[in-house]
Amino acid sequence: MRESQLRSRVRNGKTRFYANINGEQIQLGTKKGAAEKKLKELLNGRPRQIGPNPHVGELIDKFLAWSSKSNEPGTYGWYKFHLDHFKAFLPGGLRLAQLKRFHLTNWLSERYPGTSANYRNGAGRCAKRAIQWCEDEQLIEVRSPLAKAKLPEPERRELTIDETQWQALLKLLENRWGHNYDDFRDFLTVVWETGCRPFEARIMEARYFDRTNRCWRFPTKRSKGKKRQRIVYMTAEACLITERRALKYPEGPIFRQENGKPWDKNAIRCKFRRLKDKLGLPELCSYTLRHSFATRMLQAGVDSHVVAKLLGHTSTRMLEQRYSHIDSKPGFLLGVLNRANSASTVVA
């Protein structure tokens, strides 16, 4: 019987329909009409195997075609940028059976010399993800040759700034000599005040602003992970900024550059170049403000579960990994202990 054809079997007096697709048996239920419809949907949306030993470039093209329809434009652009370079680096006509881990490690060292370990780790994950996707979708019959490839260990970014450094940063963003920094200052202030992810501020629109409850409510499809709605709670200052910019830009992103274009990664990175030199903080970036928010909250004694919720995490695991250095600060744990004892004494 032909592959992918609707089949049936009778069990306990009931007819059940199924089909074999790329070697996997898919159960389609007990109603023939619904089973035929489901099978058609699966066949239209599921890639087919492309031979036992395909060209690596062909596999990458398959992955990019899927990514262009399934991922956000920014994610797809990130995959395409690195994977196009990876394809160009590989020997012409290289087939899957010839692909080795050293192709990946050599590409990272030769293509990205002088870049950070984090950047090379991200590029390597692009290549591994593409081939792994082909395995997961059963486009290839063997395990991904890159599955066990070791990537550069990403460096933990622990830079945070305190209130004094924040005020120094704002001082540099005062309007002077014909330069207007209002737009960039607003963008940075909401990240500092709320701890939101920088990309959340970049995609924030007036329609996501809940004025009554003083928060941003991103739909699930616009939230990180796309599994649950992301809510960003506002301080009074962040709420005023949002209100003002929502009135100015009722359609599309509300945080924009002087030229009216929404902020993107490159524009933000360019703004930070001068700030890093002036402040003597070479690792300063927009995420520094988010990390600083979390550090301030934890040092103020806010419960870690509450901080995780404010940051948009589903658990405290990320806090434990990234902010464990706070525990080692002199007097921090002692201060928490003293506050807890003072509170229990008052209650007693």
pLDDT tens profile 225-243 = 888 999 999 999 999 999 9
CA distance 323 to 305: 13
Using 50, 70 and 90 to split pLDDT, how confident is the model at 177? low
Burial of 96 (0-12, 13-18, 19+ CB in 10 A): buried
Model pLDDT, residue 23: 59
Q: How far apart are CA 294 and CA 10, in angstroms?
A: 59
Q: Tens digits of per-residue pLDDT, 210-226?
A: 999 999 999 998 888 88
108: closest CA among 81, 127, 136, 134? 127
Rounded to whole angstroms, how far apart are CA atoms 73 and 125?
18
For helices 304-311 and 286-299, what crossing angle results, to 10°?
Answer: 160
**CB-based contact 158:291 (threshold 8 Å):** yes
Q: How confident is the model at residue 246 (pLDDT cuts 50, 70, 90)?
A: very high
> At 195, is the secondary structure helix, strand, or coil?
coil
Q: In what order do the strands lie in the sheet with 24-29?
A: 7-11, 14-21, 24-29
More confident residue, 113 or 37: 113
Please report, as a single letter, which amino acid is at residue 34.
A
Query: Are the C-beta atoms of residues 228 and 218 closer than 8 Å to each other?
Result: no
pLDDT band at 147 (very low <50, low <70, confident <90, very high): very high
For tokens 């739909």, what's the residue?
219
Provide, rounded to the nearest whole percent, the portion of the chain with pLDDT above 70: 85
- Residue-wise pLDDT tens digits, 251-300: 999 999 999 999 998 899 888 888 888 888 888 999 999 999 999 998 88
What pLDDT sits at residue 70? 86
Confidence of residue 342 (pLDDT cuts 50, 70, 90): low
CA distance 270 to 286: 11
Torsions phi, psi for 20 (to 5 deg): -100, 120
Nearest Cα to Cα of residue 206 among 253, 161, 169: 253
Highest mean pLDDT among 40-49, 102-111, 313-322, 331-340: 102-111
Beta-bridge mates of residue 8: 17
Please tell me what DSSP assigns to residue 179: B
Q: Are 279 and 169 in contact (CB under 8 A)?
A: yes
| Mean pLDDT for the chain overall | 86
Question: In the prediction, which pLDDT does 1 show?
Answer: 42
- Angstrom distance (rounded) from CA 214 to CA 310: 13
pLDDT of residue 334: 60
Residues 95 and 54: beta-carbon distance below 8 Å: yes
Q: Measuring CA to CA, which residue among 116, 119, 295 is closest to residue 195?
A: 295
- By DSSP bridging, strand 24-29 and strand 209-210 are unpaired
Mean pLDDT for 54-80 is 91
